[in-house]
Amino acid sequence: MADKKLSGAGLRGQSAGETALCTVGKSGSGLTYRGYDIKELAEKVSFEEVAYLLAKGELPNQSQLDDYKKRLKSLRVLPQELKDVLERIPKDAHPMDVMRTGASMLGNLETEESFDEADAHIERLLATFPGMVLYWYRFTHDGVRIDTDSEELSIGAHFLRLLHDKSPSKLHADVMNTSLILYAEHEFNASTFTARVCASTLSDLHSCVTGAIGSLRGPLHGGANEAAMELIEDMKDADDAEQKLMGMLERKEKIMGFGHAIYRDFDPRNDIIKAWSKKLSEEVGDSRLYEVSARCEEVMRREKNLFPNADFFHASAYNYMGIPTKLFTPIFVMSRVTGWTAHVKEQRANNRIIRPSADYTGPESRAVPALNER
């Protein structure tokens, strides 16, 4: 992919506005949030610090961080009306649709009346998303009405606690923390652009986030982490992975979790989540998913010169932590809501309605025929 052309359909390579939030592939492969390299952030800070950085512009000091985490924890309780709605959504619904409905319902109950309230609504969404999806999941799958608060201060550990009814190990809490950092922000990707288009009409925050969830859901975007899991789960070992992948490539099928609209050589998030996936495989004592994933990476590089994006090794990492596949993309939402909402604020601060033009390819002007002449 070293010669990937950033032009053509899909607005590829065209600037659609300015941002101070993030650079993607600036030197072919880098990723920064407000000037900080993703690798350093993933090593040194918590997801809550990244959320604060994206929302407020700078990393918090200790007391700002303590206050922020305390405030987020205090915002986890769901309104009864929202819980009533979640209980009515069928068990076989996709959790991304549950989140879309949940975000929208919250917007009915706690409407953003003025843009001055944006920060409060952003914190509320960030605090409630884990409980929202897991209240529905645990009610419909386990028949229990969970308390959507927990003693866990970090959002990643809180999610695992609500899912498994027990405090996660340090390793699992660390993996969730890194995963949420990696997924937090990515410039003008499809879901963020959705949020910005919505914001440019001066719509409310919940509408922007609800639309963004809909865009993230698709398998060409966030949904690829679930699609990648479906790909690797039946691969018995590395040789089986190679054989199955070669068959798919021969049939010209798309391999989910590979390729990227912007990066040319590699996705800088891949090495980071791949290393955690390896650690998890050692902890679980079952290297199958890691090994088949690593072979898929080798084959795709060799056959197509394509590389795994952020989603591919997330599949095995989440699976090793006992997270059901259909909750993979919702975790992406729990993280990316920080990026989406920072972009909404940025759009509002310097707004012009986003309204591109189209090249017309339809028929020339013509007269409307009478009904009996058609």
Ligand X SMILES: CC(=O)SCCNC(=O)CCNC(=O)[C@H](O)C(C)(C)COP(=O)(O)OP(=O)(O)OC[C@H]1O[C@@H](n2cnc3c(N)ncnc32)[C@H](O)[C@@H]1OP(=O)(O)O
Ligand Y SMILES: O=C([O-])CC(=O)C(=O)O
The residue ranges that bind ligand Y (CB under 6 A) are: 24, 186, 189, 261-262, 309-310
Q: Nearer to ligand X by C-beta: 206 or 221?
A: 221
- Please report whether residue 198 would count as binding ligand X according to CB under 6 A: no
* Binding range to ligand X, per CB under 6 A, among 57-65, 139-147, 220-228, 344-352: 220-228
Q: Could you tell which of ligand Y, ligand X, none binds residue 146, using a CB distance below 5 to 8 A set by kind?
A: none
255 binds ligand X (CB under 6 A): yes
CA distances 22 to 152, 188, 303, 346, Å, are 29, 9, 32, 12
CB atoms within 10 A of CB 39: 15
Which residue's Cβ lies closest to ligand X? 259
CA distances from 218 to 259, 269, 364 (A): 15, 20, 35
Is 359 considered catalytic here? Answer: no
Catalytic residue among 172, 206, 221, 311: 311
Q: If binding is defined by CB under 6 A, does position 268 make contact with ligand X?
A: no
Of 13 and 247, nearer to ligand Y (C-beta) is 13
Nearer to ligand X, 136 or 312 (CB): 312
Mark 225-254 with x for binding to ligand X (rule: CB under 6 A) and - for no binding.
-----------------------------x
Any residues with CB less than 8 A from the CB of 119 and at least 6 apart, and which?
Answer: 55
User: Scanning residues 280 to 319, which ones bind ligand X (CB under 6 A)?
Assistant: 304, 306, 309-311
CB of 271 to ligand Y, least distance (A): 15
Minimum distance from CB of 4 to ligand X (Å)?
5
Do β-strands 31-33 and 36-37 pair in parallel, antiparallel, or remain unpaired? antiparallel
Would you put residue 169 in left (φ > 0), alpha (ψ -120 to 50) or beta? beta
The nearest distance, CB 274 to ligand Y, in angstroms, is: 15
Question: Do 245 and 300 touch, CB atoms closer than 8 A?
Answer: yes
121, 260, 314, 343: the active-site residue: 260
Given 83, 221, 288, 326, the residue binding ligand X (CB under 6 A): 221
Report the residue number, 131 or 257, with the smaller CB distance to ligand Y: 257
DSSP annotation of 258: B
Indicate the pairing of strand 22-24 with strand 36-37. unpaired
For the record, the structure tokens of 16 come out as 């659609």
**Axis-axis angle for helices 224-232, 288-304 (nearest 10):** 110
Q: Is 208 in the site for ligand X (CB under 6 A)?
A: no
Nearest to 340 by CA among 158, 211, 226, 154: 211
By the rule CB under 6 A, 339 interacts with ligand X: no
Q: Establish how many alpha carbons lie within 13 A of residue 79's alpha carbon, considering only the half-sphere containing its beta carbon.
A: 13
CB of 67 to ligand X, least distance (A): 31
Active site residue 311: yes
Please say whether the beta carbons of 21 and 185 come within 8 A. Answer: yes
Residues annotated catalytic, as ranges: 260, 311
What is the binding site for ligand X (CB under 6 A)?
4, 220-222, 224, 254-261, 304, 306, 309-311
